[in-house]
Structure formats: C-alpha cells, structure tokens
C-alpha cells in the first residue's frame, strides 16, 4: 500500500474534523492548565494598577466583530481592572463596522457589574470617520470631533466629559485593536501629545507592537487570547480567555503534528520516487 | 444542558443557524452558505448606513447646524454632497474637489506622522550601546532587514552578504509571525465553539 | 496640516481644527458611497435576471431593513438594529473569520514544506513559538517560554522595526509626492 502517498492526498475534510474535535474536547472537558505571565502583560497590568482612583483613561474599541474572540476578553478584563480601581473610562471606536455597538455593549455590561453610572464613571463617544483626523482633532478639543456621545447626548451635559477637553486630562490610553489603529495612536497621539498608552491586540498584530514596547512608545501589550488569559489571571477574574487556552494548546500541538507529518511524508515520497521504487 | 425550548436555545437559535450555515461551506459550497453570505453582506451595508446617518448626518451636521447655528459646517456638508456628483456625468468633476480635500489633508498629516511618530523614535531606539549580544543582534537585524528590502541596487558583494544575513533574520521573524497567526486564527474558532457549546447548547461552561 | 505641526497660533490652530472636523464629516459621507455601490450592483443583477438574483434580492431586503431600523429607531442597544447586529451580523462575521483556522491547518499539512534551509528556519521558529506560547509548552521543555520570549524580543523586533521604518519612509514619500502634485492617480483618469 502506498501509505505515504495516500497520507499526502488525504481529504482536507479529515483535517477539518480533527480540528473540530480538538476544539470541542477541551471545551467540554477542560484541563485547567496554568498560564505563564509574559513581561509585556505584566507591564500592561502595572501601568493601569499604578493609576490613582478617579483617574481618567481612554479605551478605544478599535475592533471588528470578526476578532471578538480575542479582543472582547481583553476589553472586558481591562474594564474590570479599571472599574475595580475606580478609574473613569472614556470609550470610543474608530472602526465603523460594529465598533461603537461593541463598545456600548461591553461598557454597559461591565459598568452594571460594578454599579457604575453612565456619564459619570464611563462614557461611549461612539464613532466618527477618518481616524487620523479623529485622533489629531481630539488633541485639540474632543467636542469638536464628538459634539455628542454615541447616544446623541451633548458632551457638555456629561459630567465626565466636562472634565476632559482633550488628551491633557487623560492619564492613560488602553487601546484594544485588531488592525493598524495602534500605529496611528502611537505615531499621532503618543508622539505629539505624550499621552502614555498600552495595547491589547490580536495575536497577528502582536509581533509588530513589540517594536513599540522596546522603543518605549507603548507601556504594555496583551497579545491575543493568551495575553487576555494572562491578564484575567492577574486581575483575578478567570473568564473566557483562560477557558480557551486548553483548546489552544491542543490545536497548536495538532498543527505542529500536521507540519511534521506533512514534511516526513513529503520527503519519504520524494526520496523513494527518486530511487524509482514503491513505498 | 438547556431544555430544548429554554430561552437561551430559542433566543440564540437564529445566531446558531447562520453560524452552522456558514460552517457548512467546509463540507462544500451550498445554497445555505450562499444565503448566509448574502444576509451578512446586506446587514453589513445596512449597518454602515444606519451608523453614518446618526453619527455624521445627525450628530455632526444636523444638531450643530440647527442647535448652535455653526454655519461653517455647510462647507464639509457640501464637500460630502459633492462626492455623490460622480453619479451625474455632467457634474462628476465636483467629486474631485472632495477627494482632493481628503487626500490632501491626509497626505499632510501622514508626512509628519510617519517621520516624527514612527521613523525617528524607532531609529532612536535602535541606536543602542554595543554592550550586549542582544543589542548587537538588534542593530544588525534592523540594518540587514532594511538592506534586504533595498532593491535599487543588485545584491552583490558586501551588500549581498548583508542582505543574505537579513534573510536569516527575516525567516526567524516570519516564523514567529506565522506561529502567532496560527494562534490568532485558532482563537477565533475557539470563540465560536464557546458560543455554540456554551451559550447556545449550554453543555460547556 | 504640515504647517500646523510646526507653527502654533490662533489662526493656524483654528484652520487646522476646522479641516480635521471637515475631514471626519466628508470621510463619513464617503462610506455611504460603498452602500450605494453595493445596492447598485445587486439591483442590476435582479433587473438583468441573473442566476443569483434571488440572493441579491435577499441582500437588498436585509440592507433596507437594517438601514431602515437604524435610521428610524436609532443605533443604540435594545433596538432592532442592535439586535440584528449582535445576533446575526457580528456572529456571522466572527464565523467567517474562524474558518481560517481550518484552512491554516490544511495548509500546514499540505503546503508547509522545509524544502530549503531558509524555509526550515521559518518552520522551526514557528514550531518553537507555537509550543512556547501554550501552557503545555513548558511540559515539553522547560526553556521553551524563555526561547520564545527571546525570539519575539530580539530577532523579531529587529525585522519588524526594519519593516516599520521602510514602510514609514515609503508612506512619507508618497504623501510628499501627493502634496507636490507629482502623484495624481487618486484623481482618476483625465
């Protein structure tokens, strides 16, 4: 039997089935594996933990609905940390597709969990187009870019926003993003206005953001679901990200197995064909 | 497990239906997948309309114009309207005014943003003392990567050697990036499974 | 905008602020162009009797429904617009992207071959990082997390920084060409 040739031509639906199984099994029977904390996540935690109660922070939800599995646990954990420390949160979004709705939902859910009041403890500014103009414009006067919040309430009737004319009154910016918005926050806001910031990004974005960490342009980074899981452990609220790490482990091992098996099969077939023989 | 007609199962059924309809593509393309695809595209376009209507037309134009009588807003409102002139052949050149405004101001912001906000800080933090092997590797890595992507001169001689070194660094970085990309894509699947098994069926915590 | 970076003063600041405000408004209205474009395409499909005209009709119904509810009822939580987003659109978008996990696994088995030394380096690094970033990794080998951290903070940062600098130089030069009138492709033909 041409075993390795058969293995090379295996139907991809077999691979899909194995992937499904390796997600479903740990979800149903969790392994509760511990998650080691990376220095970047610790730095992110420390940056927020060092803020005094009552400090105003900005939390841009620059995320698409497609990546909520990674970004929502980060945003939820960051909000829990902020509200636990009685920080006051200004939410907004630079992503038209769902960003302001996602911000609204998460802010309300976690705000209610901690008994926070809209307008005093947190605000959702909503979305405005052209992110470069938005980021620069807020450095001058937030009310010029956002005359109202997401719900249509004038900014000057919101107690929190009466204290925040621009970035000067913001102590820290916690960016949750799945796209290049972090680059713009860093290069426009941190560079021009000096506002310190940290970022929670999808795992695809994380390698690039480490350059900003090393350059001191970002103070802390959460990378993907793992970063969210680490942060959840640090703040003491174990949630979806931690529960997902078991499946993550199994699938990683499976994919490594695929790479090894695929390469072994490829070289065996190539070598045997080179000898002109059968496998 | 939830009862078959419990609130979660019923309330989340439309969500689960379309999720499974999309996953059916993994078996093969089928009408259910196409239906879900077109529903998604329609809802997405409708979302943009609803959001822009409220966040721009109402909150940025209507309310300030009628409430504060901020008449300067007439100019961006006109420029926005000119964008639709492209649908009327006689007036289509008006759309170029709006484009020129947006492109011009974006270009003006970008020039200083890239130089001041990215290049200078990144170059500054690359100028490290050669006191540790990591610092040396960082400097060599940055320079060899920049030289590898410099295609205006052929990669021969010393330039070629440095570019070859750059390939080594680039392969390590891309390998790391691939590992993180796998992590990212897998996380998205885990999220959907958490919804189907946890939120919808209630068989997982 | 370039002047506003270097010069501060009441007139420059005011002009710059109004330009930024104008940009957000024009940029937002520009997004509506996409909505009209997709409506046009699918309306033409229905009018011309295209084979998939049924699906195009469904698309337009969903578009009108979503836009209608959003315009009339509002976009806030609790309305039909928000329900359609939270219960249908967002989960569907998440599902579409989650399918990439299957394709990446299939590609890992069928396409990722260590045919050369450079591709072997790439795959080896990928395996180290994938193992180092999962809890099970430290059970495979104690030093894996440390190796992964080193890979991410030294060679990876070096290359990413080189790419950032190169891309930023490119973006700055394109913008300069636009400002100097050398680059006019954004205006279209003629």
pLDDT tens sequence across C22-32 = 999 999 999 99
What are the tens digits of pLDDT across the range B14-44? Answer: 999 999 999 999 888 999 999 999 999 999 9
pLDDT, mean of residues A121-137: 95
Our CA-based measurement puts residue C75 at a distance from the nearest CA of chain B, in whole angstroms, of: 7
What pLDDT, on the 0 to 100 scale, is given for residue C113? 84
CB atoms within 10 A of CB B158: 8
Residue A42 has pLDDT above 70, yes or no: yes
**Which of A27, A126, A224 faces B187 most closely, judged by CB atoms?**
A224
**Which of A13, A67, A255 faces B182 most closely, judged by CB atoms?**
A255
The mean predicted confidence, pLDDT, of chain C is 90
Residue A16 has pLDDT above 60, yes or no: yes
Chain A CB contacts of B54 under 8 Å are 152
What pLDDT, on the 0 to 100 scale, is given for residue B5? 58
Judge: B107–C175 Cβ closer than 8 Å, yes or no.
Answer: yes
pLDDT, mean of residues A78-101: 96
* Phi, psi at C25, each rounded to 5°: -70, -50
Cα angle, residue C61 at apex, residues C57 and C66 outer, rounded to 5°: 150
pLDDT-based confidence at residue A54 (cuts at 50, 70, 90): very high
What pLDDT, on the 0 to 100 scale, is given for residue A267? 84
Provide the strand spans (E) within C22-175: none
pLDDT-based confidence at residue B3 (cuts at 50, 70, 90): low
Pick from B49, B65, B101 the residue to mutate for testing the C interface (most C CBs within 10 Å). B49
Residue C110 has pLDDT above 60, yes or no: yes
Chain A CB contacts of C105 under 8 Å are 15-16, 18-19, 251, 254-255, 258
**Which of A16, A207, A215 faces C152 most closely, judged by CB atoms?**
A207
Residue C19 has pLDDT above 60, yes or no: yes
From B75-79, C140-144, C172-176, the region with the lowest mean pLDDT: C140-144
What pLDDT, on the 0 to 100 scale, is given for residue B110? 92
From B18-32, B181-195, C132-146, the region with the lowest mean pLDDT: C132-146
pLDDT-based confidence at residue B54 (cuts at 50, 70, 90): very high
Q: Is the CB of residue A56 less than 8 Å from the CB of residue A170?
A: yes
Chain C CB contacts of B166 under 8 Å are 162
pTM as predicted: 0.91
What are the tens digits of pLDDT across the range C170-188? Answer: 999 999 998 888 877 776 6
Q: Identify any residues that bridge with A89 across adjacent strands, giving them in sequence order.
A: A57, A122
What pLDDT, on the 0 to 100 scale, is given for residue A278? 47
Choose among A19, C83, C149: nearest CA to B134: C149
For B:75-134, CB contacts with A below 8 A are 102, 105-106, 109-110, 113-114, 116-118, 121-122, 124-125
What pLDDT, on the 0 to 100 scale, is given for residue A275? 64
pLDDT, mean of residues C75-101: 92
What are the tens digits of pLDDT across the range B146-169? Answer: 999 988 888 888 888 888 889 999
Judge: A129–C27 Cβ closer than 8 Å, yes or no.
Answer: yes
What pLDDT, on the 0 to 100 scale, is given for residue B17? 94
Residues of chain A above pLDDT 90, percent = 76
What pLDDT, on the 0 to 100 scale, is given for residue C86? 93
Cα angle, residue A68 at apex, residues A64 and A70 outer, rounded to 5°: 120
From A52-66, A190-204, A212-226, A255-269, the region with the lowest mean pLDDT: A255-269
Judge: A130–B102 Cβ closer than 8 Å, yes or no.
Answer: yes
Judge: A16–C102 Cβ closer than 8 Å, yes or no.
Answer: yes
pLDDT, mean of residues A145-168: 94
What is the Cα–Cα distance from A121 to B139, expressed in whole angstroms?
45
Our CA-based measurement puts residue C48 at a distance from the nearest CA of chain A, in whole angstroms, of: 30
Judge: A190–B117 Cβ closer than 8 Å, yes or no.
Answer: yes
**Which of B60, B184, B189 faces A147 most closely, judged by CB atoms?**
B60
The mean predicted confidence, pLDDT, of chain B is 90
Residue B118 contacts C where some CB pair is shorter than 8 Å: yes
Residue B180 has pLDDT above 80, yes or no: yes
Judge: A243–B194 Cβ closer than 8 Å, yes or no.
Answer: yes
Residue A235 has pLDDT above 80, yes or no: yes
**Which of B37, B170, B180 faces C159 most closely, judged by CB atoms?**
B170
The mean predicted confidence, pLDDT, of chain A is 92
What pLDDT, on the 0 to 100 scale, is given for residue C190? 43
Residue A26 has pLDDT above 50, yes or no: yes
What are the tens digits of pLDDT across the range B81-108? Answer: 999 988 888 888 888 889 889 988 999 9
Helix, strand, coil in percent for chain A, rounding step 5: 60, 15, 30
Q: In what side-by-side order are the strands of the sheet with A122-127?
A: A122-127, A88-93, A56-62, A172-177, A197-201, A221-223
């Amino acid at each position: 039997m041409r075993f390795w040739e058969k293995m090379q031509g295996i139907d991809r639906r077999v691979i899909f089935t194995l992937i499904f199984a390796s997600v479903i099994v740990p979800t149903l029977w969790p392994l509760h594996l511990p998650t080691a904390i990376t220095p970047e996540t610790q730095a992110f935690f420390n940056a927020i933990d060092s803020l005094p109660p009552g400090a105003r922070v900005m939390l841009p939800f620059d995320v698409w609905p497609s990546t909520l599995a990674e970004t929502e646990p980060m945003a939820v954990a960051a909000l829990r940390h902020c509200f636990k420390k009685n920080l006051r949160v200004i939410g907004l979004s630079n992503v038209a597709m769902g960003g302001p709705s996602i911000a609204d939902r998460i802010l309300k859910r976690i705000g209610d969990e901690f008994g926070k009041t809209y307008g005093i403890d947190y605000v959702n500014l909503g979305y405005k187009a052209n992110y470069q103009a938005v980021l620069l414009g807020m450095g001058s006067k937030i009310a010029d870019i956002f005359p109202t919040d997401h719900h249509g309430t004038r900014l000057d009737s919101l107690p929190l926003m009466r204290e925040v004319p621009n970035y000067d009154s913001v102590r820290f910016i916690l960016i949750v993003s799945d796209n290049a918005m972090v680059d713009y926050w860093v290069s426009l806001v941190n560079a021009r206005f000096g506002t310190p910031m940290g970022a929670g990004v999808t795992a695809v974005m994380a390698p690039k953001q480490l350059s900003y960490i090393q350059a001191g342009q970002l103070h802390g980074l959460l990378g993907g679901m793992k970063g969210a899981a680490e942060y959840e452990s640090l703040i003491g609220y174990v949630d979806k990200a931690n529960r997902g790490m078991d499946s993550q482990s199994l699938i990683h091992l499976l994919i490594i197995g695929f790479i090894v098996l695929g390469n072994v099969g490829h070289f065996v077939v190539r070598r045997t064909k080179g000898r002109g023989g059968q496998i | 497990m939830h009862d078959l007609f419990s609130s979660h199962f019923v309330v989340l059924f439309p969500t689960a239906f379309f999720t499974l309809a999309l996953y059916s593509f993994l078996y093969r393309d089928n009408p259910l997948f196409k239906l879900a695809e077109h529903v998604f595209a329609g809802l997405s376009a409708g979302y943009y309309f609803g959001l822009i209507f409220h966040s721009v037309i109402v909150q940025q134009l209507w309310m300030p114009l009628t409430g504060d009588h901020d008449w300067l807003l007439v100019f961006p409102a006109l420029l926005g309207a000119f964008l639709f002139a492209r649908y009327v052949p006689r007036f289509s050149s008006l759309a170029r005014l709006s484009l020129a405004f947006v492109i011009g101001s974006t270009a003006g912001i970008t020039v200083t943003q890239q130089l001041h906000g990215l290049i200078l800080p990144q170059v500054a933090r690359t100028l490290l003392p050669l006191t540790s092997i990591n610092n040396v590797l960082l400097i060599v890595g940055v320079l060899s990567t920049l030289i590898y992507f410099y295609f205006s001169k052929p990669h021969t001689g010393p330039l070629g050697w440095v570019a070859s070194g750059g390939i080594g660094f680039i392969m390590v970085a891309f390998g790391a990036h691939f590992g993180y990309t796998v992590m990212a894509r897998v996380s998205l699947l885990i999220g959907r499974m958490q919804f189907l098994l946890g939120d919808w069926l209630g068989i997982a915590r | 905008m370039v002047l506003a970076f270097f010069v501060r003063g009441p007139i420059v600041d005011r002009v710059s602020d109004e330009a930024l405000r104008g940009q957000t408004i024009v940029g937002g209205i520009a997004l509506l162009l996409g909505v009209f474009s997709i409506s046009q395409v699918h309306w033409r499909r229905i009018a011309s009797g295209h084979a998939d005209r049924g699906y195009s009709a469904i698309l337009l119904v969903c578009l009108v429904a979503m836009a209608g509810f959003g315009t009339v009822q509002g976009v806030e939580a609790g309305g039909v617009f928000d329900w359609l987003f939270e219960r249908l659109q967002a989960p569907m978008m998440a599902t579409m992207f989650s399918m990439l996990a299957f394709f990446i696994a299939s590609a890992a088995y069928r396409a990722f071959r260590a045919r050369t030394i450079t591709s072997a380096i790439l795959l080896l690094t990928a395996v180290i990082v994938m193992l180092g970033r999962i809890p099970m990794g430290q059970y495979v080998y104690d030093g894996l997390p440390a190796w992964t951290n080193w890979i991410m903070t030294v060679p990876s940062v070096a290359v990413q920084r080189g790419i950032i600098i190169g891309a930023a130089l490119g973006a700055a030069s394109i913008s300069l060409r636009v400002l100097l009138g050398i680059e006019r492709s954004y205006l279209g033909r003629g």
